[in-house]
């Protein structure tokens, strides 16, 4: 097996909560998260809001540091780098943000916005060379050179997201982290941007970490997918297989809850968590005790309250953190 582009090792991030009047508390945004992303793939991350997706993105972009754990990018630990080395490394990873209206400086022209990441290059390109690269990049994302001198407010949401993607790609990074990059877009524009991302992967070999709460979007573009719940990775595997036959009850809950143009009317009632499992005292004690999904899980049994499930391989290439994953295998799809 070749070495992965990103190797995320036991990443944990705690945020100190509480405040002046509330008792101090810790929010564990990421909880012992381990995963790898292969070069040249689109790797989807799905999960509910607050499950730690953006925290993961920020740490991968070295905008935030983990409480513990490590990220190995292309063979080097991201957090052992000196500021200077980190600066140089930044050309290899870039980010596209959720809100295409907030992520572009309204006071700068498109050409300048797109050129922004270039300043980390060792050899700063000349004015002319910079301009050439910007134009080539704009064309690659389907905008034209004449638009380079315009301001962001003159563009629609989809066009702005293309500008943001052009900015992320200008240093020819190996990795682009896209945090909810199409969530704010209308359907007809969303498909245009998704096609662009697929094309960039195919033609330029860019690796995408594609974060979203929308399963259909991940299903449409991702090769691999990781499902997060409360800061943990609960399932991972090839996107198609995961959505066709989930191995974690939470993935199933997510898939069932997602509305679709082919599902009319009220969905069939979902099985409720068994009363016996819920009756077990739900200690929100130190993380690591019991399964975090227990209160919502229809498959829960006594073991789930006592012991936190760890990620394990259930089928070739398929991992899940659930004691009863084998039951999911027999359950009707």
Angle between helices 187-204 and 157-169 (to 10 degrees): 20
Stretch that binds Mg ion, among 12-20, 52-60, 84-92, 300-308 (CB under 5 A): 52-60
CB 7 within 8 A of CB 36: yes
Whichever of 228 and 294 has its CB closer to ligand SF4, that residue is 294
Residue from 144, 200, 153, 143 nearest 172 by CA: 200
Partner that binds at residue 117, options Mg ion, ligand SF4, another protein, none, CB closer than 5 to 8 Å by kind: another protein
Whichever of 257 and 276 has its CB closer to ligand ADP, that residue is 257
Stretch that binds Mg ion, among 35-43, 54-62, 123-131, 274-282 (CB under 5 A): 54-62
Closest residue to ligand ADP, based on beta-carbon distance: 54
Residue 249 within binding range of ligand SF4, rule CB under 6 A: yes
Q: How far is the CB of 287 from another protein (least distance, A)?
A: 20
DSSP 154-191: GS-HHHHHHHHHHHHHTT--SEEEEESTTTTS-HHHHH
Partner that binds at residue 2, options another protein, ligand SF4, Mg ion, none, CB closer than 5 to 8 Å by kind: none
Cα separations in angstroms, 321 against 210, 226, 232, 251, 293: 21, 11, 9, 11, 10
Q: Alpha carbon 116 to chain centroid distance? A: 23
Stretch that binds Mg ion, among 51-59, 78-86, 117-125, 271-279 (CB under 5 A): 51-59
Q: How far is the CB of 54 from Mg ion (least distance, A)?
A: 3
Q: Phi first, then psi: give them for residue 169, nearest 5 degrees.
A: -95, -5
Question: Which chain residues interact with ligand ADP by CB under 6 A?
Answer: 15, 17, 27, 29, 47, 49-55
Q: Any idea which residue has 């607050």 for tokens?
A: 50
Residue 190 within binding range of Mg ion, rule CB under 5 A: no
Buried b (16+ CB within 10 A) or exposed e, 279-303: eeeeeeeebeebbbbbeebbbbbee
Footprint (CB under 8 A) of another protein, residues 133-192: 153-159, 164, 167, 184-192
Binding site for ligand SF4 (CB under 6 A): 249, 291, 293-294, 297, 299-300, 304, 309, 322-324
Q: Which residues contribute to the site for Mg ion (CB under 5 A)?
A: 54
């Amino acid at each position: 097996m070749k070495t992965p582009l990103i190797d995320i090792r036991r990443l944990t991030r705690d945020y100190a909560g509480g405040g002046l009047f509330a008792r101090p508390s810790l929010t564990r945004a990421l909880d012992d998260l381990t995963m790898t992303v292969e070069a040249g793939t689109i790797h989807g991350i799905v999960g509910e809001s607050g499950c730690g997706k953006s925290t993961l993105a920020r740490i991968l972009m070295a905008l935030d540091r983990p409480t513990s754990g490590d990220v190995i990018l292309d063979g080097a630990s991201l957090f052992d780098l000196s500021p200077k080395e980190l600066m140089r490394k930044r050309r290899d990873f870039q980010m596209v943000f959720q809100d295409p209206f907030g992520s572009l400086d309204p006071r700068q022209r498109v050409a300048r916005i797109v050129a922004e990441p270039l300043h980390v290059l060792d050899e700063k390109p000349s004015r002319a060379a910079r301009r050439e690269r910007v134009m080539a990049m704009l064309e690659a994302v389907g905008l034209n050179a004449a638009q380079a001198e315009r301001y962001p407010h003159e563009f629609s949401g989809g066009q702005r997201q293309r500008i943001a993607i052009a900015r992320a790609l200008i240093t020819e990074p190996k990795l682009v982290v896209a945090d909810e990059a199409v969530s704010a877009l209308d359907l007809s524009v969303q498909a245009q941007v998704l096609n662009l991302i697929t094309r960039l992967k195919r033609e330029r070999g860019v690796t995408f970490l594609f974060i979203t709460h929308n399963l259909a979007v991940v299903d449409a573009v991702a090769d691999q997918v990781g499902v997060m719940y409360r800061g943990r990775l609960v399932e991972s595997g090839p996107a198609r297989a995961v959505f066709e036959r989930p191995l974690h009850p939470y993935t199933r809950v997510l898939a069932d809850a997602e509305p679709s143009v082919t599902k009319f009317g009220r969905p069939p009632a979902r099985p409720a968590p068994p009363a016996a499992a819920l009756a077990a005292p739900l200690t929100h004690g130190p993380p690591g005790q019991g399964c975090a999904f227990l209160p919502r899980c229809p498959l829960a049994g006594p073991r789930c309250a006592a012991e936190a499930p760890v990620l394990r391989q259930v089928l070739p290439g398929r991992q899940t953190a659930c004691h009863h994953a084998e039951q999911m295998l027999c359950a009707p799809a």
